[in-house]
Structure 1
Amino acid sequence: MTKPPLTLYLAAPRGFCAGVDRAIKIVEMALEKWGAPVYVRHEIVHNKFVVDALRDKGAVFVEELDECPDDRPVIFSAHGVPKAVPATAAQREMVYVDATCPLVSKVHIEAQRHADNGLQMIMIGHKGHPETVGTMGQLPEGEVLLVETVADVATVEVRDPSRLAFVTQTTLSVDDTADIVAALHARFPGIVGPHKEDICYATTNRQEAVKAMAPKCDAMLVVGAPNSSNSKRLVEVGARAGCNYAQLVQRATDIDWRALEGITSMGITAGASAPEVLIAEVIDAFKDRYDTTVEMVVTAEENVEFKVPRVLREPA
């Protein structure tokens, strides 16, 4: 039977970013150095495939520090943790390694600097997301106020409108965040923003690639986890950029083939915590069903690399 023709557009960049790559490497190196089990507070990155693979190697994933024994190393996830977490680990004399993405750590340092200058913080982010919890937890209760939407800006109650600064979660939609920032500047003209955009290079690059790819596609799939903020934003960006069908899939088995009947062009990208093996699996699934022509949509080249903490580079 003849396969129907399909142009498969592949976004570049896509998939793993430097922060995710570093976080996974940290767990693997910790297992090599100290042996199993090594405890990890929260999913190291938001991807079940990655977490399961590390679990098979001897990583134990927990939600809170009190689930960890004192005598085994613990790793903090790439999303960052409230200040109280490493403080408690130090108090318990635990060996701990912080896998917080350096670009998230930059936001933490920013928040502390503003607080030291007597400014109250407003954070643009998603309530309950580990990165938001970690950033808000850098400062005492009430010092960081959360806004998720433009509507929230109108109702947020601040201590002194003339003594404010804002930071953002690193994995937000660039366009949505711009609208919220504009609303903050309109309501609080003196508010201090970051020197450089908090939304990280990888989030921005992946969204730009999707914007370039979406108008060419009948449908688009984002490979990523349902709890991955940056992956969900890619779906929204794709839909907004003109793709009629944009969906999130964890892997090839999640593809709804009936919804794709009659398509002649398909876009594929992946969130920053999705490994290339899952992307390849999705591409192969299309090649099985269609006579595919693959075209790359390249909008940026990435060569960022972050060092792992010194404790892992030193001999045991």
Structure 2
Amino acid sequence: MRTEITVPTQMPKGHTKSRAKPQITVRMASPRGFCAGVERAIKTVEETLSIYGAPVYVRHEIVHNAHVVARLSAMGAVFVESIDEAPDDRPIVFSAHGAPQSAHAAAEARNLVKIDATCPLVLKVHTQAKRHVAAGRQVLLIGHANHPEVVGTMGQADDGEILLVQTIEEANTIAVKDERALAYATQTTLSVDDTAGIIAALKKRFPDIAGPAKEDICYATSNRQKAVKTAAPGADLFIVIGSPTSSNSVRLVETAKAAGARDAILVEDADQFDWNILEGVSTIGMSAGASAPEHLVEAFLTALANRRTLDIKTIETAKENVVFNTPLRLAS
């Protein structure tokens, strides 16, 4: 699809015409932005505020986007890193990234109203990991150290039952209890290509290792990376709207560079962008991480249209219609 967007400018008195703005081609990757898990998590906080009133406490940022967190904070959400920071008489919402069993146990021990907004696809990884451990298998979790999703998944079993693998080198050297009793799982927001290499190394070293029937990397992460791979080749610059704490957003930047964009950057919003970077740029690609609201993309395009004449081309590689219901406590 091809669309021309121009924003008229006010001409000063005495001028008969404004200086023409140079044209720039914008390749819009689609799908982009919010996924079903993020939409569910945000809606969960909104519904909790509606039912229980403010304040509502949320363990960790509900999703990794500063704009989303700021809006919910203004509505009465209070974001904390520990259950200990939540009072006894207010609900506690668990973020989309999931939490270790110890956090759930701490909330239950205090009889807190506990509402779990963990993405269902993350919960699937938790369930698989627990089943493997119960069956006597040690789980090798492919992911990034200290990411809240990884912390939550590793916290589904006793220490040593789930081991973290971050690189191919670690896959080739990690010490395990029994090479014949292993399984692997992955963080849901990883690079598809990087993860495939680590899985291949694990399978080569441990031929009997068990894996998920369907990959753990979520549909939204895969779809957004595929769209970026299609839109990025030959672009002078690829711009990903998202927060630096968002794993899937950072992976999109890496994907764009690997796919052939001359350069790629992560930008929180139009206000944070250095417009001087566009000097000499004629073609850009754009996407947004799964936790980035679409209005940030629209605001960036509006700001860009004030400076350039836009030739927008949408690069769509998949259609998404996935919807997750909010937790049963709220749905009932």
TM-score range, shorter chain: over 0.9
Amino acid at match of 1:99: A
**Match among 188, 191, 195 for residue 173 of structure 1:** 191
Are residues 1:236 and 2:236 paired?
no
Unaligned runs of 5+ in 1: none
Please give the alpha-carbon distance, in whole angstroms, between the structure 2 residues aligned to 1:6 and 1:147. 42
Please give the alpha-carbon distance, in whole angstroms, between the structure 1 residues aligned to 2:303 and 2:245. 24
TM-score, length basis structure 1: 0.98
Residue aligning to 2:286: 268
Please give the alpha-carbon distance, in whole angstroms, between the structure 1 residues aligned to 2:221 and 2:148. 17
Amino acid at match of 2:108: A
Task: Give the secondary-structure state (helix, strand or coil) at the position aligned to 1:93.
Answer: coil
Amino acid at match of 1:56: A
Amino acid at match of 1:187: R
Identity %: 56
Residue aligning to 1:218: 236
Task: Give the secondary-structure state (helix, strand or coil) at the position aligned to 1:146.
Answer: strand
Q: CA RMSD in A?
A: 0.7
Amino acid at match of 1:184: L
TM-score, length basis structure 2: 0.94
Amino acid at match of 2:245: N
Residue aligning to 1:205: 223
Quote how far apart the aligned CAs of 1:93 are: 0.6
**Match among 136, 152, 176 for residue 158 of structure 1:** 176
Residue aligning to 1:9: 27
Are residues 1:189 and 2:218 paired?
no
**Match among 39, 45, 68 for residue 21 of structure 1:** 39
**Match among 93, 110, 122 for residue 75 of structure 1:** 93
Quote how far apart the aligned CAs of 1:258 are: 2.0
**Match among 127, 134, 137 for residue 119 of structure 1:** 137
Task: Give the secondary-structure state (helix, strand or coil) at the position aligned to 1:300.
Answer: coil
**Match among 118, 130, 134 for residue 152 of structure 2:** 134
Please give the alpha-carbon distance, in whole angstroms, between the structure 2 residues aligned to 1:10 and 1:282. 12
Quote how far apart the aligned CAs of 1:49 are: 0.3
Residue aligning to 1:98: 116
Query: Retained in 1: the 8 A contact 2:171–2:198?
Result: yes
Query: Retained in 1: the 8 A contact 2:234–2:262?
Result: no
Please give the alpha-carbon distance, in whole angstroms, between the structure 2 residues aligned to 1:213 and 1:70. 50
Please give the alpha-carbon distance, in whole angstroms, between the structure 2 residues aligned to 1:8 and 1:155. 44
- Off by >4 Å, runs of 4+ in structure 1: none
Task: Give the secondary-structure state (helix, strand or coil) at the position aligned to 1:192.
Answer: coil
Are residues 1:304 and 2:318 paired?
no
Give the aligned length: 314
Deviations 1:127-167 (A, max 9, x none): 00000000000011110000100011122110001100000
Unaligned runs of 5+ in 2: 1-18
Please give the alpha-carbon distance, in whole angstroms, between the structure 1 residues aligned to 2:20 and 2:132. 63
